[in-house]
Amino acid sequence: MKRPLYLLIPALILLFSCNCEEKRQTEAQAFLDEYTTEFQQLYTASSEAEWKSNTYIVDGDTATTNATNRANEALARFTGSADVISKTRNHLKWAEFLTPLQNKQLNRILYSAANNPATVEELVSKRIAAETRQTEMLYGFNFQIDGKDVSTNDIDEILRTEKKVGDRLKAWEASKEVGKSLKTGLTNLRNLRNETVQALGYPDYYNYQVSDYGMTVAEMREMMDNNIREIWPLYRELHTWARYELAKQYNEPVPEMLPAHWLPNRWGQDWQSLVEVEGINLDDTLKAKGSEWLIKQAERFYVSVGFEPLPEIFWEKSSLYPAPAGAEWKKNNHASAWHVDLDRNVRCLQSLVPNSDWYETTHHELGHIYYFLEYSNDSVPVLLREGANRAYHEAMGSLLGLAAMQKPFMEGLNLIPKGVQTDETQILLKEALNYVVFIPFSSGVMAGFEHDLYVENLPEEQFNERWWEYKKKYQGIVPPTNRGSEYCDAASKTHINNDAAQYYDYAISYILLFQLHDHIATKILKQDPRATNYYGNKEVGNFLKSVMRPGATGDWRELLKKATGEDLSARAMLQYFEPLMAYLKDQNQGRVHTLPETI
């Protein structure tokens, strides 16, 4: 007996759907496999070339420059090829039949293509060449004080320790000279970056970078503004405290705003060395241990919580120490972690000297390295081997940097005497001068300047004026003397040149790190978040791995909610520093606050 046709139709539709789904997934996977193989090879070649450009900078060395340009152009030609874009879009037409991981990879391919579209190949080549040149000019710059060559480590040391205002001014001004030579290159890069991504429909380079979060520029700006609003009352008290304390230290009248050269950081983004906590003098202890101890000890920490020792290639390939005195070559002096082949080839670029800053930095950078290694697993496709979002990477690094600086942690390593009496309020103040002070700089100054640079096409002659406008508004910091349009002080910040339109990553990472730290302290260690010791706790390691291991295979918001039970919020950060407010208000009684109550 024949079944009625109307009963067969649903079965036929289901069969067709299953066949179509299987067919589309098979075809998409074949394309993804082919693309991934070629991409990984070209990415590795590009990374190796960039590594040499950053670790061996010789004036007039065109061979390295040309090799880097060729490697980057080869990667750009492939990722932005018309064939890749066309095939990717065709597969995405059948998105409903594909797996979530396939769709994520295809969208990642299109996102990468927008930075290098073949439709503007000549433009892409010009941008790559301009980026290489800008990096060489930045890190090959000859910093001088009174006609004598100095390194950025030398400048940083002066700004951390020097008490003579005149000598501080010389060091600060020397640190900004590089901006003048980078200004025109920055304008050129801005134009090339904007025009490149516009070819695939993005309004500008800032919109392009923000879209990686699944957010609009308006949403990102609101998030940044909210960061500043939430911490502003505390920052305002810190600003007032610093004005009066530094005026007393330098025997100068109390200024209305903080002169930039009074602060212990070239950009005023970290003031923690204004406070020395009695009983905690890491620099002397670390000097006796030497530079190598710092990186080896950071590795021992990660191993103690359950991670594997670093692969041998890390030690073979990393560039960990400053260029030798008198060397005919220079290197990028900004610490960074590299995932060269998107697999096990990992390395660090640092200029280690044995002090507390580099002690914290080694733990931070290995946070990146272990994140790379953790998501380089069979469950994570090569194209999704990145942080859940860009901020997660920085959060992970900063989280472990914070953990390594907490008193119980340092006591456990005998870096400070066990049971040493310390002023807990001063410890909290020192931390606030790092973490809280950073928010107005990252969320306000950097995010605002780069927004205007790319979205508003800020004219070159207004670069320095706008930079200092934002410095005063968000940080209450002013230049020591008039800084005319011939300067470009923003360009002395490496990220403005070679990690463009992404500095809000760091702001978000600080919010994330306190959420993660709060969870570890209260839920796993059952310790006061202000006094923890992660060392040797495998449960802490398992928690970190659960956040690291998925890479970019899921939604970053869902990962955070699953890990901590809450959405992105400054709650944990504000709660951490809550005891400090009463102290600062007491210290600032009778003092004049020059920042507005709200922003």
- Residue 279: the pLDDT is 80
- Residue 12: the pLDDT is 43
CA distance 187 to 189: 5
Q: Quote the DSSP letter at residue 326.
A: T
- Residue 9: the pLDDT is 55
For 188, residues 6+ apart whose C-beta sits below 8 A from its C-beta are 130
- Residue 49: the pLDDT is 96
Report residues of the chain scoring pLDDT below 50.
1, 8, 11-12, 14-16
Q: How many helices (H) and strands (E) does the chain have?
A: 24, 6
- Residue 334: the pLDDT is 84
Instruction: Outline where 199-271 has alpha helix (H).
Output: 205-211, 217-250
Q: pTM of the entire structure?
A: 0.88
Q: How far is CA 484 from the centre of its chain?
A: 29
Are 53 and 65 contacting, i.e. CB atoms less than 8 angstroms apart?
A: yes
Nearest to 544 by CA among 384, 343, 346, 388: 388
What string of H, E and C letters represents the secondary structure of 452-497? Answer: HHHHCCCCHHHHHHHHHHHHHHHHCEECCCCCCCCCCHHHHCHHHH
Class (C level, CATH) for 217-587:
mainly alpha
Query: Per-domain residue ranges for the chain?
Result: 18-140, 217-587
- Residue 1: the pLDDT is 47
Nearest to 230 by CA among 507, 539, 582, 552: 507
Q: Residue 45 in 3-state DSSP?
A: helix
- 498-501 contacts at long range (C-beta below 8 A, 24 or more positions apart): 498/131, 498/134, 498/135, 498/138, 500/189, 500/193, 500/205, 500/209, 500/450, 500/454, 501/193, 501/205, 501/206, 501/208, 501/209, 501/210, 501/450, 501/454
Q: Which two tokens stand for residue 292?
A: 């190598």
Strand 144-145 to 346-349 pairing? unpaired
**Which residues, listed in sequence order, are joined to residue 477 by a DSSP beta bridge?**
258
Q: Which two tokens stand for residue 193?
A: 């970056």
CA distance 356 to 286: 7
Q: How far is CA 368 from the centre of its chain?
A: 10
Handedness of CA 137, 142, 145, 146 (dihedral sign): negative
Torsion of CA 236, 237, 238, 239, to 10 degrees: 50
- 339's enclosing H/E stretch is strand 336-339
Are 297 and 33 contacting, i.e. CB atoms less than 8 angstroms apart?
A: no
Q: Which two tokens stand for residue 190?
A: 């801005």
Handedness of CA 456, 186, 52, 144 (dihedral sign): negative
